[in-house]
Amino acid sequence: MDIRLALSSLAEVETECLAVVLLDHGDKQKPAPRLASKDAAVEKALTDVIASGEISGKAFETTLLHRPQGLKAKRLLAVVAGKAANFSHVEMRKAAGTAVRFLKSRTIKSCAIAVPDLSTGAEDAVRSIVEGAYVADFDPDTYRSDRKDLAMKALTVVAPPGCDQSKLQQALEQARIVGESQNFTRELVNEPSNRLTPTMFAERTRKMCESVGLKCEVMGPDKIKAMKMGAFWSVAQGSDEEPRLIVMRYEPQGAPEKPVLGLIGKGITFDTGGISIKPADGMEKMKYDMAGGAAMIGAMRAVGQLKPKIKVISIVCATENMPSGKAQKPGDVQIAMSGKSIEIINTDAEGRLVLADGLHYARTLGCTHLIDAATLTGACVVALGNANAGVFANNEDAYQHFTRALERSGEKFWRLPVDSDYTEMIRSSIADIMNTGGRWGGASTAAAFLKEFAEDTPWIHLDIAGTAWMDENKSWIAKGPSGIAVRSLVEWVKSYENSH
């Protein structure tokens, strides 16, 4: 997508379609939609349609006008972004996405989106528009033989004259990088497992690293076993596909020696459950079980281009979880890289096993702060549904950095407990710990398991099982992979720049 910035009155913008945001200033009984940008010509063009009541004020409804009088744009698209009192950059992202998806469905290849008057400022609005447009432009129909090219080719972000053009241009470029990186993650998650084996996953990561100047090391079974990653290998041993340990490094000149941030991702390219096999219904979705690893890869793609002055190492443990004569069995005991012994209760609790070795390895590489992401537990989905992802932390300062990241990213996470009561639930009578604590509190016992391997290193755990895949189309995003956590991870990394 070719994106450019224009400082102009809206009436003078020549485009196939000019999209503007309306906000509802009324109440439930009497909506009062009004234009969110100060422009007399656009207000006049919308007067009749607003007065008619055709625009109800419902969030993300769209109204298209052809040949609007007083404007050079061929069309005018009004997008209602909900209540004025609640409007923020989160709604701006969705409104921009709604506009792009509405126009894509009508094969309109270029448009302009107006920057509204936001209390958070024009820079945040520009960033939100660009990120929302990129998210909206992604469609998952990669392998359809009749696939049509509906991609938006050009977008103009229109800000009022008098804005600081250099700052807005910088915000636009940063948002482009983040939006493209989120879509890169979504492309990976969308791939079927026969077209994204652990080996293929690693190769695509290596090529990405080469393109943005990151160091990348890929290790196979011999190295994994030599490093005594018994937890990781226990999952990999049942598959005919070789596992891959992927290590990405961003080490800019002039960065301080500490902190070193560690980003660890679960990369299960297909999860059958192993010997504790999953039900057949819905198993095809289990190609998405590498979404945590893909989020780390997307975040590193953005970090490599945004170039913060902070050292970052990312580790993705990639494998399949398959049942076979070689697969581990319930009751087995595995020895993790850290030396901890693990009793395997359920082979479908495999994500925490690969992350255990990933977290410990990150610490051996010198990472001083850790964050992991994984489609880890169905229990988190039961607790939070598809609205929020779960977040756990063993360190308040690290968690405060993450909350500041969420203020920028607009992604929805909810903190869940990971105290010592949950650790007691995974104590084993034959080994140090069990890989599952039973039915109750499953998201927290899984986090408690991971906490054993983070030890006293500041650590954040993101359980994205309920939010990494959209089960239905929304006006601003297609059904399929969401790319969740990429924006938050990037902002978390940036939050440590100049903080020490």
State in Å, rounded, how far the first CA of the chain is from the last one.
37
Q: Which residues contact 297 (CB under 8 A, 6 or more apart)?
A: 184, 185, 188, 205, 208, 246, 248, 265, 314, 316
CB atoms within 10 A of CB 177: 20
Region of residue 334 (phi > 0: left; psi between -120 and 50: alpha; otherwise: beta): beta
Q: Copy the structure tokens of residue 29.
A: 């009984």
Reported as type and span, the H/E element at residue 429 is none
Distance between CA atoms of 172 and 192, rounded to whole angstroms?
33
Strand ranges in 11-83 using DSSP code E only, listed in sequence order: 18-24, 33-35, 62-66, 75-83
Answer yes or no: are the C-beta atoms of 11 and 70 closer than 8 Å.
yes
Question: What angle do helix axes 396-409 and 486-495 make, rounded to 10 degrees?
Answer: 120
Report whether 424 contacts 335 (CB < 8 A). Answer: no
- 60 Cβ neighbours under 8 A, 6+ residues apart: 79, 80, 81, 82, 94, 95, 98, 475, 476
Class of domain 181-495: alpha beta
Q: Which is it for the CA torsion 36, 169, 295, 416, positive or negative?
A: negative
Note if the pTM is more than 0.95: yes
2-160 and 181-495: identical CATH topology: no
CATH code that applies to domain 2-160: 3.40.220.10
**46-50, long-range: CB within 8 Å, 24+ apart, which pairs?**
46/22, 46/76, 46/78, 49/78, 50/22
Q: Which two tokens stand for residue 196?
A: 């994204």
- Residues whose CB is less than 8 angstroms from the CB of residue 254 and which lie 6 or more positions away in sequence, other chains included: 309
pLDDT at 27: 84
CA 229 – CA 354 distance, rounded (Å) = 9
Sheet strands side by side (includes 459-463) = 215-219, 244-250, 311-321, 260-271, 369-374, 459-463, 389-393, 413-415
How many CA atoms does the CB half-sphere of 71 hold within 13 Å? 30
Amino acid at 407: E
Could you tell me whether strands 459-463 and 389-393 are parallel, antiparallel, or unpaired per DSSP bridges? antiparallel
The pLDDT tens digits along the chain (500 residues) read 999 999 999 999 999 999 999 999 988 778 899 999 999 999 999 999 999 999 988 999 999 999 999 999 999 999 999 999 999 999 999 999 999 999 999 999 999 999 998 656 899 999 999 999 999 999 999 999 999 899 999 999 999 998 999 999 999 999 999 999 999 999 999 999 999 999 999 999 999 999 999 999 999 999 999 999 999 999 999 999 999 999 999 999 999 999 999 999 999 999 999 999 999 999 999 999 999 999 999 999 999 999 999 999 999 999 999 999 999 999 999 999 999 999 999 999 999 999 999 999 999 999 999 999 999 999 999 999 999 999 999 999 999 999 999 999 999 999 999 999 999 999 999 999 999 999 999 999 999 999 999 999 999 999 999 999 999 999 999 999 999 999 999 999 999 997 75
Residue 32 has φ and ψ, to the nearest 5°, of: -140, 75
Residues with catalytic roles: 278, 352
Domain boundaries, the chain: 2-160, 181-495
